[in-house]
Structure 1
Amino acid sequence: MSKLSIAVVGAGITGLWQAYTHARAGHRVRLVEQSSEPFAACASRLAAAMIAPECEAEGAPAVVRDLGRESIVLWHKAYPGTIVNGTLVVAPPRDSSDLTRFEQMTERHEVVAAHRIAKLEPDLSGRFERGLFFPDEAHVVATEALEWLLCEGRTLGVATEFGQPFKPSGEDVAIDCRGIGARQDLPLLRGVRGERILIQSHDVGLSRPVRLLHPRQSIYIVPQGDGRYVIGASLLEREDDSPMTVKSALDLLGTAYALHPAFGEAAILDMGAGVRPAFPDNVPRALVEDGGRTIRVNGTYRHGFLLAPVLAQAVGGFLSDGRRDSPLFDSPRA
Structure 2
Amino acid sequence: MPPLGEGTVRGVNVAYRKGLPGPGPDLVIVGGGTLGLAVAWKAAGAGLSTQVVDPTPGKGASWAAAGMLAPVTEVHYGEERLLRLNLYSSELWPDFAAELEEAAGRPVGYRRSGTLTVARDTDDNAALEELFAFQQRLGLQVERLRARECRSLEPSLAPRVRGGILVPGDHQVDNRALVTALRVAAERAGVRFRPAAATTLLVEGDRVRGVRLDSGEELGCGTLVLAAGSWSGKVRGLPPEAVPPVRPVKGQLLHLRGPADALLATRNIRGLDVYVVNRADGRLVVGASVEERGYDTTMTAGAVLDLLRYAYELLPGVTELEVTELTAGLRPGTPDNAPLIGPAVLEGLVLATGHYRNGVLLTPATAEGIVDLLAGGGLPERFAPFSPRRFTGATVREPIS
Matching residue within 117, 129, 140 for 1:89: 117
Equivalences for residues 1-334 of structure 1 within 5 A:
2-3=9-10, 5-35=26-56, 38-40=57-59, 42-59=60-77, 61-80=79-98, 81-94=109-122, 95-106=124-135, 107-124=140-157, 128-165=161-198, 167=212, 169-184=219-234, 185=238, 186=243, 188-202=245-259, 204-213=263-272, 218-289=273-344, 292-321=347-376, 323-324=378-379, 325=381, 326-327=383-384, 328-329=386-387, 331-333=389-391, 334=396
Structure 1 residues 332 and 274, CA, compared in 2 at 3 Å: closer, same or farther? Answer: farther
**Amino acid aligned to 1:51:** L
Alpha carbons 2:344, 2:388 under 8 Å: kept: no
User: How far did 1:312 drift?
Assistant: 1.7
For 1:290 and 1:30, how far apart are their aligned partners in 2? 22
Alpha carbons 1:204, 1:262 under 8 Å: kept: no
User: How far did 1:111 drift?
Assistant: 1.1
Helix, strand or coil at the partner of 1:55: coil
- Select the structure that is richer in helix: 1
- Structure 2, unaligned stretches of length 5 or more? 1-7, 13-25, 99-108, 199-210, 213-217, 397-401
**Amino acid aligned to 2:116:** L
User: How far did 1:288 drift?
Assistant: 1.8
Helix, strand or coil at the partner of 1:71: helix
For 1:309 and 1:79, how far apart are their aligned partners in 2? 9
User: How far did 1:78 drift?
Assistant: 1.6
TM-score, scaled relative to structure 1? 0.89
Alpha carbons 1:284, 1:298 under 8 Å: kept: yes
Helix, strand or coil at the partner of 1:286: strand
Alpha carbons 1:23, 1:158 under 8 Å: kept: yes
Deviates more, 1:158-167 or 1:7-16: 158-167
User: How far did 1:240 drift?
Assistant: 3.8
TM-score, scaled relative to structure 2? 0.75
**Amino acid aligned to 2:58:** F
Alpha carbons 2:46, 2:375 under 8 Å: kept: no
Structure 1 residues 289 and 242, CA, compared in 2 at 3 Å: closer, same or farther? Answer: closer
Deviates more, 1:248-257 or 1:291-300: 291-300
Alpha carbons 2:34, 2:58 under 8 Å: kept: no
Helix, strand or coil at the partner of 2:184: helix
Which structure has the greater CA radius of gyration? 2
- Structure 1, unaligned stretches of length 5 or more? none
For 1:272 and 1:9, how far apart are their aligned partners in 2? 24
For 1:114 and 1:212, how far apart are their aligned partners in 2? 14
CA-based RMSD of the aligned residues comes to 2.3
**Amino acid aligned to 2:389:** S
User: How far did 1:20 drift?
Assistant: 1.9
User: How far did 1:251 drift?
Assistant: 0.3
Helix, strand or coil at the partner of 1:123: coil
Structure 1 residues 172 and 232, CA, compared in 2 at 3 Å: closer, same or farther? Answer: same
**Alignment length (residue pairs):** 327
